Amino acid sequence: MVSDKEHVEEMKKLQADQRQKRLDSKKLDRGLVLVHTGNGKGKSSSAFGVITRALGWGHKVGLVQYIKGTWKTGERNFFKQFEDSITWHTMGEGFTWDTQDRNRDIEAAKAAMQVSAEMLRSGDFDLVVLDEINIVLRYDYLDVQDVLAGLDARDQRTSVILTGRDAKPELIEAADLVTEMKEIKHPFQQGIKAKQGIDF
């Protein structure tokens, strides 16, 4: 069993190591890259939670939705009251199986990436969320290297969250934080439709 004195010494060493890591970090004052991926529900929902936290601190937020079309959602309704603090772009035309037009989807993804890159490098935002960008990368509507270049060129102050299933390995490697949502059970498996206020 560890003595009280040994415990104190161990904690002091751990504290000193953590301080040194912070001092050594080249990314000390730079915004973070967060990836929310996996086959479970909650990737975008988690990002919207972070948006709420950022707005609570008076931060400026940008959001680009890559897939979700013009359908009405609770989050969109809610964030309308923060129009001075959040810039919202819905660039997609809905799920790819709805459009069934690869060239049109590619053009929509490229337009969304152009808007995203401008927001990232502008210096106007503390947080930018690229919602469902991993989906367009999965279908190769965008080149992952172009996305990585956009992340590298972002302003020092800007953190970014990228959501969607099947995040590319290159994106996972570049990220500071990666969270994988794992599906254990889903109501859709029982034939239950999406619920207002829970799913949208």
* Residue 131 belongs to domain with CATH number: 3.40.50.300
pLDDT for residue 6: 84
Residue 143 lies in a domain: yes
Domain of 66? Answer: 32-190
Residue 19 lies in a domain: no
d(CA 197, CA 36): 21
Domain count, the chain: 1
This prediction's pTM:
0.81
Residue 26 lies in a domain: no
Residue 195 lies in a domain: no
- Coarse DSSP helix, strand, coil percentages of the chain, rounded to the nearest 5 percent: 45, 15, 40
d(CA 102, CA 35): 25
In contact, 159 and 32? CB cutoff 8 Å: yes
pLDDT for residue 9: 86
For residue 35, give both structure tokens.
Answer: 């990836």
For residue 186, give both structure tokens.
Answer: 């889903």
Q: What is the pLDDT of residues 2-23, one digit of tens each?
A: 788 888 888 888 888 887 776 6
Q: What is the pLDDT of residues 176-193, one digit of tens each?
A: 999 999 988 876 677 777
> Taking 80 as the threshold, does the pLDDT of residue 71 lie above it?
no
pLDDT over 90 percentage in the chain: 62
Distance of CA 54 to the CA centre of its chain: 13
For residue 26, give both structure tokens.
Answer: 């080249």
Residue 11 lies in a domain: no
Residue 142 lies in a domain: yes
d(CA 129, CA 88): 10
Mean pLDDT of the chain: 88
For residue 146, give both structure tokens.
Answer: 């172009």
> Taking 80 as the threshold, does the pLDDT of residue 24 lie above it?
no
